[in-house]
Amino acid sequence: MGHIRTSLPPFTKLLLLANAVLWLTFAINFVVKSYLYQPHQKLFEEQSPPYIFWGRAFPFDEYMSPFMRATRLIEAPSFYAASPFFRYFDSRHIVADHLYGGIDVGGYYLILVCLLSFAQWYLIGLLLDCLRRRLNTRRAAANGSLPKI
């Protein structure tokens, strides 16, 4: 019988841990920078906050901060993969101020991005670990000493 691997390969583990740290930092940033929010009738050209969670809203001006830009860049594949969800609600004119279970559409979009990002980094980690194993096998074959399986 074959051996069943129970632990994650090293790069995969490292990338998932780094992703968890990023999202934990994001959550702390949200708590620190957010403000109390009550849904209300918008004034002329008033912008809606990008994310609303249980009565706390993230300021729109913080949305363009360096940390937020870096997060969007690092998690770009996940933001892209989650965009059909956002486009569906946006095309039906479900605006950010409508709360469902205390969370707006932008908040649910962000939760989906967060979940997808773990899948994203898991797959990238597996790919890197696979490439590393292949390179090690080729090096060992070139040196004439293949590792025992």
For residue 57, the enclosing domain spans: 10-37+48-134
Q: Does a structural domain hold residue 141?
A: no
Q: Does a structural domain hold residue 42?
A: no
Work out the average pLDDT over 135-148.
66
Q: Does a structural domain hold residue 146?
A: no
Q: Residue 51's Cα: distance from chain center in Å?
A: 14
Query: Does this model's pTM top 0.85?
Result: no
In the chain, the N- to C-terminal Cα span, in Å, equals 13
């059909």: which residue's tokens? 84
Q: Does a structural domain hold residue 144?
A: no
Q: Which two tokens stand for residue 92?
A: 């039906």
* Bridge partners for 53 per DSSP: 56, 103
Q: Does a structural domain hold residue 112?
A: yes
Number of domains in the chain: 1
Q: Does a structural domain hold residue 29?
A: yes
Q: Does a structural domain hold residue 94?
A: yes
For residue 43, what is the DSSP state?
A: P
pLDDT in tens, 87-123: 787 766 666 567 778 888 888 889 999 999 999 999 9
Q: Does a structural domain hold residue 97?
A: yes
pLDDT in tens, 16-66: 999 999 999 999 998 998 888 877 667 777 677 778 888 888 887 777 889
Distance in angstroms (rounded) separating the CA atoms of residues 92 and 55: 24
